[in-house]
Structure 1
């Protein structure tokens, strides 16, 4: 009888895992498909670098605004519904962006990016909650690979951008394809989500419980570490293509290739990072990746041969790859508080995407884009100083659905 019951349960978990992987990958594809051609968007809208930074702020600002509402929305509507509504919103927002690009008008592009950001932020939180639920029920670590799936999506989006640029396909048309793809795919994928993304007691994580989570020192420090690495990652996402085109005077195609190298390195780092984390622990691995990010940043900003610049983009990508997923895992060490803590850490980390674009854009107007990127070093210093916060909880409470996963992430993560 037990085997008969375990069969359907295992099948449902496998389908749910596949559905969440699709959600992460498609989210990354929608994000990267147009950012890989940021120079083309800038030129189509006749923007300066500072103005482009403000336009990017519409995207990150919308995402940050959605985060406080996303957790309650997931508990009220379910993760599947929030992901689906998010994908529909992303589609509508990207269509508005395409309209702005076609007409050379900033306001529909800005409004579209605000809606895209709000929808993508809600989608992001919901898929992380769903992924954590699948991880706990399977009893094995899954989160790093899910973020690796997001990176695969960014690789596909970056490749689509480079290919479209090489073929002379207008950016607006490329954006329309992504806008139609997102809701079409997720309409079918969310049917495989688990019916309940959180246990019943987690659904009461709002109100005073959520406020208490914001006062936990460890959770706040994990948020700052994740913010530092998110800024390191987001700066490259937003400005690497611009740095190659403006700073190194390459063409748009090579700028998109450099972006593709970065996101490919991110993907490799995330899929290979699990073994490194098990062997060496969270803290040493994050410190090592921060050093790689510093080396990559130095090569991108100071080197002249394009081979070295692209190698720097690769190191930058590997160096930035594990900060966000490790932050999510650290926040979810205790499954009974995982949803609230993941929400707090996500909210803190996303301020990097809110502040990063305009800060670097304004600095680029006065110092040039390559020198402006040195502000990323400040974020890396913060990450290095605070990495001890992600050390696993010393004595996590036993939990039937996640004992094995805790064994991997807790006892073995830092030796």
Structure 2
């Protein structure tokens, strides 16, 4: 590993850390935000729909932005939008306005969705230069950020620190971190399609069935992760009788499990392969969710968050790696796989909110549980492609 690649990997890991802090700061305060705006479970689902719309807007636009300008400016713009969105969420909560919170979530989601695609395209390129698994480690820093953010959120919730001040402080820290971490990231990554757009059509990678199946894996395991990000504190408060601070603490446990899974997961991927790791991830995550749903015990529910987090930890980064080397046109493939996966962020919050309003949040998790179990059966799509398969996939994308 050359010094420049190492520096680039470390910078990208730091950038992954920033959205982790931001989203955990918001998630740990969801019970407080819900109370400040006076929202029911169904209304909270609609408020969270702002996050879904923003995420999909960012995801769907990010690919073309990266193609035109490269990953670096998209990372910068997305991270700044995410920080601003966090502040707007806090201000909206302080004003008791669910609409303002939804708008803030939309801005937050747009920034996060857009920057996530750019982060993963950049990460796939760094992983290619390294010649070994690196995406789980980089995503591990996202999870580490959620641990730091969740721990701070738990403490600030316990002392009744104002939500608006908390989220604006988090936003300021993210902006400061971005200013430092972005410096070693080179310009131009992912911009090759824009340079050749007039001479060649955009690759039709969506015709590759294997790539779509990989997107399905991402969809399910991103839903498992995203459901915890959106609803876990409320599930613990409303479904298991925890107070708000302890609900945030359970989310911190989940985030810690995600972090551990991602930091140690790379060696398991290198040793056992993507298919085995993804299948095990789906089963373990489903087991954790099943315990949360079906066992009416606070200790078991808190412990189950560990299984849930460990299982969900490797799904997104490992499947993104599989998408990146499934054929040529890496940026387009990673962008498509991420887009398919982020459908989870579009349909997840409102659907679970609707189901939770009618059947309870714990019962609503059964839908996610079934989806994650189904993903275990399509994990063979993530196997490492042989050169001939890569060429076939590339030929399909050109046709």
Change (3 A) 1:194 1:393: same
What is the rounded CA distance, in whole Å, between the counterparts of 1:327 and 1:96 in structure 2?
33
Q: Per-residue displacement from partner, 1:70-106 (whole Å, max 9, x unpaired)? A: 1221232232211111122122222221211111112
Paired position in structure 2 for 1:93: 85
Change (3 A) 1:389 1:203: farther
Which one is further off, 310-319 or 276-285? 276-285
The answer as to 2:145 corresponding to 1:153 is yes
The answer as to 2:235 corresponding to 1:243 is yes
Change (3 A) 1:397 1:270: same
Q: Per-residue displacement from partner, 1:282-325 (whole Å, max 9, x unpaired)? A: 22222222221222112112223322111111111111111111
Which one is further off, 122-131 or 256-265? 122-131
* Pairwise CA RMSD: 2.1
Mind listing any 5+ residue stretches in structure 1 that lack a counterpart?
1-8, 399-415
Equivalent residue in structure 2 for 1:327, among 319, 322, 337:
319
Which one is further off, 12-21 or 49-58? 12-21
The answer as to 2:325 corresponding to 1:299 is no
Paired position in structure 2 for 1:167: 159
What is the rounded CA distance, in whole Å, between the counterparts of 2:369 and 2:293 in structure 1?
12
Question: Which 4+ residue blocks in structure 1 deviate beyond 3 angstroms?
Answer: 198-211
TM-score by length of 1: 0.89
**8 Å contact from structure 1 (residues 334, 396) kept in 2:** no
Equivalent residue in structure 2 for 1:355, among 342, 347, 357:
347
What is the rounded CA distance, in whole Å, between the counterparts of 2:269 and 2:126 in structure 1?
20
Change (3 A) 1:170 1:91: same
What is the rounded CA distance, in whole Å, between the counterparts of 2:190 and 2:58 in structure 1?
20
**8 Å contact from structure 2 (residues 193, 202) kept in 1:** no
The answer as to 2:47 corresponding to 1:50 is no
Paired position in structure 2 for 1:110: 102
What is the rounded CA distance, in whole Å, between the counterparts of 1:205 and 1:259 in structure 2?
45
Q: Per-residue displacement from partner, 1:98-125 (whole Å, max 9, x unpaired)? A: 2111111122221111111111111111
**8 Å contact from structure 1 (residues 80, 191) kept in 2:** no
SS at match of 1:191: coil
What is the rounded CA distance, in whole Å, between the counterparts of 1:206 and 1:25 in structure 2?
37
What is the rounded CA distance, in whole Å, between the counterparts of 1:256 and 1:210 in structure 2?
44
1:225-264 maps to which residues of 2 (within 5 A)?
A: 225-264=217-256
Report deviation, 1:65: 1.3
Paired position in structure 1 for 2:396: none
What is the rounded CA distance, in whole Å, between the counterparts of 2:327 and 2:203 in structure 1?
18
What is the rounded CA distance, in whole Å, between the counterparts of 1:207 and 1:66 in structure 2?
27
Report deviation, 1:210: 4.2
